[in-house]
Amino acid sequence: MTDATHELRASWKRFLDGYAPLRGALYRYCRHLTRSPWDAEDLAQETLARAFVTLAQLGAEPPNVQAWLFRVASNLWIDQMRRAGRPFGSLGHGPEAQVSADPQEVREAAGTLIARLSPQERAALVLKDVFDYSLEEIAEVLVTTPGAIKAALHRGRGRLQAEGEAAEARETVVAAPARAAVLDAFCAAFNARDLDRVTALLTETAVVEVVGASTHYGREAARRTVLPGMMFGSERMATSAETGIGLEPQYVRNVLPVPARLEVVRHRGEDLILSWYAHGQGHGDAGQGGAQDGGVVEAVRAVNRLEVSEDGSEITRLANYFFNPEFIAELCEELAVPYRINGHTYC
């Protein structure tokens, strides 16, 4: 690793540590905007990356850091809507927002009418009703005037009331795609601790990412880095106090040096893979509970999202969500499974 790369990583680590107290609020804001936990986590990660770059160009840190992060997230999200060709009106004057006919969006919105507002109206309502921002504060986040915000709130609330009775009729049920056999093969090989077989299921050009931490390209890179960590990282966690790697005790949570176990589950019409870790009994937390066997408690510590090739025989992308506590908590609560979070960084 070059000195420049080392310094860049150190700067990124310091940035994440400094902004860690705001991560929960940022995720909640992104969650209300996107209406999907996956999209919310992606938007939160992109916001932090953009903020890291932008902050280096500012003369001083913004006086209201949370509002500034929300502004970065809002701009990114609105730009995404524009690129996707989503029609929406402006905060001042413009055409009324149209209702999306995308069935996946309707399903993800889960009947929440706020998903039918224009992006700016939705952001204004979230900032007002969820975070209790003043008109002036919302105007600062969305880079407009308090008068335009007031009009947007009035217009948005009027649209919610008008569409309330028709919302249920617009919902569309979409059949879930068939489960790819490669997911079961991946879990079987992983649970057998067969690293060679797990690696062979990836394409040579597969992208393997620990979301928010690192990205690796290619089958062999994944074999050297992420895959062993997924399989045997529990031992490193369990012995962190003895080895001095710096893992904070509140994230160890009685984890045992037992290899993780993978399981395929269905969530919102999509197949995911949960990483179950073994823990000794006696440490409570928000996600406590789980299967017990001779004093051992299983809990989810990570969620994995895989993309497969067109013929369904190989894995082209693996995203491992481990350093994403708000996201893990929401998914596991929706799935009604026990979980324990890991913090935003390892050390």
277 Cβ contact list (under 8 Å, min separation 6): 234, 255, 256, 258, 260, 298, 299, 300, 301, 340
Count CB-CB contacts under 10 A for residue 35.
18
CB distance 40 to 33 below 8 Å: yes
DSSP state of 179: P
Residue with tokens 């996946």: 104
Burial 161-179 (b: 16+ CB within 10 A, else e): eeeeeebeeeeeeeeeeee
Per-residue pLDDT of the chain (347 residues; tens, 9 = 90+): 677 777 877 887 888 888 888 999 999 999 989 888 999 999 999 999 999 988 878 877 888 999 999 999 999 998 888 777 654 433 333 333 333 334 334 334 333 445 567 788 888 888 988 888 999 999 889 888 888 888 888 888 887 776 654 444 444 445 556 678 999 999 999 999 999 999 999 999 999 999 988 899 999 999 999 999 999 988 888 887 676 565 667 777 789 999 999 999 999 888 999 999 999 976 444 444 445 555 889 999 999 999 999 888 999 999 999 989 999 999 999 999 999 988 877 65
Yes or no: say if 47 and 26 are a contact pair by the CB < 8 Å rule: yes
Sole residue written with tokens 């066997």: 293
CB-neighbour burial class of residue 95 (10 A; exposed 0-12, middle 13-18, buried 19+): exposed
Domains of the chain: 3-170 (1.20.140.160), 181-335 (3.10.450.50)
Q: Is 221 exposed, middle or buried (0-12, 13-18, 19+ CB in 10 A)?
A: middle
Could you tell me which of 303, 275, 334 has the C-alpha nearest to residue 36? 334
CA distance 324 to 40: 11
d(CA 59, CA 86): 35
